[in-house]
Amino acid sequence: MLFNSYEFIFVFLPVTFFVYFYLNQKRLTKASKGFLVFSSLFFYSWWNITYLPIILFSMLFNYIIGDTLNREEGHHRFSKKSILIFGIVSNIALLGYFKYTNFMIDNMNYWIFKEDIPNINLALPLAISFFTFQQISYLVDSYKEETKEYDFFNYALFVTFFPQLIAGPIVHHKEMMPQFSKTRNKVKNYRNIAMGLFIFSIGLFKKVVIADTFAIWATQGFDEATTLNLFEAWATSLSYTFQLYFDFSGYTDMAIGIALLFNIKLPINFNSPYKATDIQDFWRRWHITLSRFLKDYIYIPLGGNKKGEIRTYTNLMATFIIGGLWHGAGWTFIFWGFLHGLALVIHRVWSKLNFKLWTWFAWFITFNFINISWVFFRAKEWDDALKVLGGMFSLDHIILHEKLKIILSFLPYDGIKFGTMFIAQGGTLDVVLWLIFILFFVIFSKNSIQLLNTFKQNIFYAFITALLFVISLFDMNKISEFLYFNF
Amino acid sequence: MKYLIQLFIFIILVFISFYIFILSVDPYDKYNFNYWELKTKAVNSYRDNKFNQIDNSQIKYDLFIIGSSRVQGFNPSLIELETGLKTFNYGVNNSKPEDLLAITRHIIAKQKPKIIFLQVDFYHLNKSIPIDRRLKTSPLGKYLNENIKASSSNSIFYLYNQSYLTLRSLRDSIKIIYKNKLGKIETTHNKNGMKIEHKIPKKAKLAKAYFQNEYKNYEFGKQRIQDFIQLKELCKKNDINLIVSISPMNKEHFLTLMKNKKLFNMLLMFKRKIVEIFIEVYDFNNLGAFQYNYPYWIDSVHPSMELSNIMSEIIFDRKKEESNIFGKKITNDNINQYLQDLNISSQKLFSN
C-alpha cells in the first residue's frame, strides 16, 4: 500500500489509528501492539502476499539469534562471536540471494563463462534491504550487550512498524523500543496528531506534486531520448536530482508524520542535503540513518580512521562501495558508491591542506558533483549515463529559443541553432521554471523538519496544511511508487 | 482538539472551493456550464490554431493532409517536392470522422485544393467512442453536422470523461481562464501545419490507452460511416482528388491487437468497409510495417517523420508504387485475396 493512495489515507490509516487507541483506552496494551503488528504486516502484504513468509522468517530467525546473544556466554554451545557471524552471514545470504544472484550470473556469463546461463526468476521482496540492515544492527548490538530482552511482539513491532517498514528511516532498537513501552504514548496526543498531519501533508505534496512532476522530465531524458543536447541533458540530470530528493524526503516526511500520530518519533533522515558545502557535509544531511548505519556497522568495524591514513581511505572507499551495492545490483550503483568514496578521500586530503574555499564556490562544486554522480545512480545502463553526461559536456547542437535569434544571431559558433528548446522534455519551458524555482527553494527555504519545529497550532498552519493536503489529493490520480522502494 | 477541528474545516473549505471553481469553468464541458462566458475551452489550441490559420490564410494550398495525430509526421515540404503542389498539414489530434468531415467543409469553404489526402485510423469507425462535445463550441463548430450541433448533454468527450477531482482539471481550468482573459495563442506547429520537431524514443512504447479507450467495445457506427461517405461525396462534388490510406501500427501493437480475436476480425472488416466507401485505399496497416523499428515510431501507432516520409513517397512518388506490401493499394478487385493473405500471414506470425 502506498502512502500516496486513497486506500491508505482514507481507509487503512484511520482504521489502524482508531482501533489502536481504542484498544489502548481499554487497557488492552498487548492486543493494541498485536494489532499494530498485524496492520503493519497487512500493509506490507498489500503489494504481494508472497513476500510475507520471507519477512516473518527473517524476523523470527533474528529474534532467536538476538535472544541467544542476549544470554550469558555459558548458556550456549557456541561462542557468541560465532553466533553473531552466523546471524550476519545468514542475513547477508538472504539479501544476496534475492538481490544479487542475477547480477552475479550476468557477470559470470560476461567475464568467466562467456556463455548465457539464464537468470533466476526472482522478484526482490519489498523492503528487504531495509529490514535486513535494521536487524543486522540489532544482532551486533545484542552481541555488544546493548540490547535488553524484548518479547517477540516488541521485536516484531520494531521491525515491521508500517511507517518505516518499506523505505526507512533505518531505525535503531534503542530509539524505538522505549517509545513503544511508554505508557504516555498509549493515549492520543492532539499536538502530535496536529504535527503529524502537518508534516504528512508536506511530504505528500513533495511526493505527488514536485517529485512526480520532475519524474516525467527525468524519464524522458534518461529512458526515452536517443540523444540530448546541452540544455536537455542538464534538465534531465537536474530533474532526477530533485525528483530523488523530493521523492525520498517526501516519503520520510510522511513516515515521520504517520509515526507521530501514534506518538512515535522517528529519526530525521534529511537535513537540506543540497545546501551542503562539501561531500562530508552532504552525507551528514542525506539519508542520515543509512549514513549512521554504514558508519557504525561497516566503517568503524573496519577500523575507521584509527589505523593510519591509507587504511582510513581504504575504509572510506570500501564503505561507500558497499553503500552503492546496497542501493542496487549493478555496476552503475557500485561506480556511484566509488565516486562518493573517492570524493570523501579527496575531501579528507584537501581538509588537511587547510585551504578554505569561498562558501558559494564550495556549494557549487559539491552540488554539481552530487548532480553528476546521480546520473550513474539513475542510469539503467552505462550507455544511458554516458548519453546524459555526453550531452551535459558537449557544445555540439546547442538549441536556443527562437526568440533569442534577433539578439544572438551574431554568435559565430556553428553549433548553435535557434528553435524549440528542451525537445527531449516535450518542448516545454516549464522544466526551466520548475528547476529555477525548486533550486532556489532547496537552497534558501527551511526544510520540513525545521518547519515542524516552528509549528504552532493556529489558523495559519491549519490553512497551509489543508492547502497542501487538498492540492496533493487532487494530484493523486496518478499513483506512482516511491523510488527507494526499489532499493 | 480545537486546532484539529479548524484543520478539518479548512480541508473541507479548500476542497469545495477548488471543486466549485473547476465546475464553474467546466474545462471538459462535462456539464455544459459556462459561468465565465468563455469563447473556447480548448486547453491545447492545436485544432483552433490550424483552423484560424486556414481561415485567414492568404496562401493558396493545393493539397491538404487530414487525419489524426498519426498524420502529424507528414512533411508538407517533402510532398511539395514530390507533387509540385503547395501543401498544408491539417492533421489534428484525436480526430474522428465527424470532425474530419467538418475540416473538409472548412477547407472547401476557404480554399480550392486539388488533392485531399485522408489517413484513416482503425478506431475511426468505432461507435463506442463518444463525440467530443467541445467541437460544438470550437470555431469548427459551424461546419459540423446538424445532429452533432444538437446533440444532447449525454455525450461526453471520452478522453476527459474523468473526475474533476484532479490537479490536471484544476490546472486546465486556470489555463482556460488565463487563455481567454489574458493569454496569447500558443505556437503549436509550423506555417505549413507541420508539427514542431519531436524526439524519437529509443523504443516505441505500446500505446496501451488505445486498447482501453479507442478500441473498447468496438462496433461500427453508422453515423461515422455516413460521415466518411459524405466526405467522399463532398470531394467528388468539388472536383477534389481524394487519396485515402490506412495508418500503420508497429508489430507489438498489431500482435497485441491479435490477442483479441474479435478485435482482429474487426480490423479486417474495417479495411473492407473503408475500401467499400473509398474504392481505392493505400494500406500501411500490415506486416510490411514491421520492417521499421527505430527511428520510425514515436509510439506503437504514431509514425515518426522518417516513416511518414517513406509513406508519402509510396503515395506521391509513383515510381515506388506497388513495390512493397507496405502501402499496398487495395481496391474492390483485390480486397478478398488481400485480406485472406493478410489473415494467413498474421496468424502464422502470431503462432510463432
Residue bearing the bigger pLDDT, B216 or A203: A203
Give me the residue from B6, B11, B18 closest to A474, CB to CB.
B18
pLDDT over 50 at B156, yes or no: no
As a CATH number, domain B65-153+199-351 is 3.40.50.1110
Contacting residues of B for A474, CB less than 8 Å apart: 18, 165-167, 170
Confidence of residue B157 (pLDDT cuts 50, 70, 90): very low
Contacting residues of A for B15, CB less than 8 Å apart: 470, 473
Q: Do A458 and B196 touch (CB under 8 A)?
A: no
- Domain boundaries, given as residue ranges, for chain B: 65-153+199-351
Confidence of residue B323 (pLDDT cuts 50, 70, 90): low
Residue A239 CA to its chain's centroid (Å): 17
pLDDT over 60 at B275, yes or no: yes
A40's CB contacts (< 8 A; 6+ apart) are: A157, A160, A161, A162, A165
The pLDDT value given to residue A483: 61
**Active site residue: A172, A173, A287, A327, which one?**
A327
ipTM of this predicted structure: 0.78
Contacting residues of B for A226, CB less than 8 Å apart: 199-202, 294-295
Give me the residue from B3, B11, B202 closest to A226, CB to CB.
B202
Q: Pairing mode, if any, of strands B280-283 and B328-331?
A: antiparallel
Confidence of residue B129 (pLDDT cuts 50, 70, 90): confident
Q: What's the pLDDT tens digit per position in A66-100?
A: 888 877 666 667 788 888 899 999 999 988 888 88
Confidence of residue B154 (pLDDT cuts 50, 70, 90): very low
Which amino acid appears at position A261 of this protein? L
The DSSP call for residue A481 is: -
- Is B202 touching A (CB cutoff 8 A)? yes
A477 to chain B nearest CA, in Å? 7
Residue bearing the bigger pLDDT, A257 or A330: A257
d(CA B235, CA A375): 55
B9 to chain A nearest CA, in Å? 9
Straight-line distance from the first to the last Cα atom of chain A, in angstroms, rounded to the nearest whole number? 17
Other CB atoms within 10 A of residue B8 CB: 13
C-alpha cell at A331: 555496476
Q: Do B199 and A469 touch (CB under 8 A)?
A: no
- Is B165 touching A (CB cutoff 8 A)? yes
Give me the residue from B4, B167, B196 closest to A474, CB to CB.
B167
A458 to chain B nearest CA, in Å? 7
Examine residue A125 and say whether the peptide bond preceding it is cis (omega within 30 degrees of 0): no
Other CB atoms within 10 A of residue A122 CB: 11
Contacting residues of A for B299, CB less than 8 Å apart: none
The pLDDT value given to residue A252: 94
Percentage of chain A surpassing pLDDT 70? 95
Residue A42 CA to its chain's centroid (Å): 22
Name every residue in A having a CB less than 8 A away from some CB of B.
190, 193-194, 197, 209, 220, 223-226, 419-420, 423-424, 427, 457-459, 461-463, 465-467, 469-471, 473-475, 477
Q: What's the pLDDT tens digit per position in A464-473?
A: 999 999 999 8
Q: At B66, give phi and psi (nearest 5°).
A: -125, 150
Q: Do B170 and A469 touch (CB under 8 A)?
A: no
Q: Do B11 and A469 touch (CB under 8 A)?
A: yes
Residue bearing the bigger pLDDT, A358 or B186: A358
Per the annotation, the verdict on A327 as an active-site residue is yes
Q: Which residue has cell 472551493? A: B17
- Is B269 touching A (CB cutoff 8 A)? no
pLDDT over 70 at B198, yes or no: no
Contacting residues of A for B14, CB less than 8 Å apart: 463, 466-467, 470
Residue bearing the bigger pLDDT, A257 or A414: A257
Q: What's the pLDDT tens digit per position in A49-70?
A: 888 898 899 999 999 888 888 7
The pLDDT value given to residue B231: 95
A97 to chain B nearest CA, in Å? 31
- A215 touches A243 (CB < 8 A): yes
d(CA B220, CA B226): 11
Contacting residues of B for A464, CB less than 8 Å apart: none
Contacting residues of B for A458, CB less than 8 Å apart: 3
Other CB atoms within 10 A of residue B178 CB: 11
Give the length of chain B. 352
Q: What's the pLDDT tens digit per position in A306-356?
A: 888 888 999 999 999 999 988 888 889 999 999 999 999 999 998 888 888
Contacting residues of A for B4, CB less than 8 Å apart: 190, 193-194, 197
The pLDDT value given to residue A382: 87
Interface test with B, best of A220, A474, A475, A478 (most B CBs within 10 A): A474
A73 to chain B nearest CA, in Å? 52
The pLDDT value given to residue B153: 44
A217 to chain B nearest CA, in Å? 13
State chain B's mean pLDDT as an integer.
84
Contacting residues of A for B7, CB less than 8 Å apart: 194, 197, 462, 465-466
Give me the residue from B4, B170, B200 closest to A474, CB to CB.
B170
Interface test with A, best of B72, B167, B171, B300 (most A CBs within 10 A): B167
**Closest chain B CA to residue A191:** B1
Q: What's the pLDDT tens digit per position in A221-239?
A: 888 777 788 888 999 999 9
d(CA A277, CA A223): 31
Beta strands in chain B (DSSP E): 63-66, 87-89, 115-120, 241-246, 280-283, 328-331
pLDDT over 70 at B43, yes or no: no
- Is B191 touching A (CB cutoff 8 A)? no
Residue bearing the bigger pLDDT, B210 or A195: A195
**Closest chain A CA to residue B299:** A224
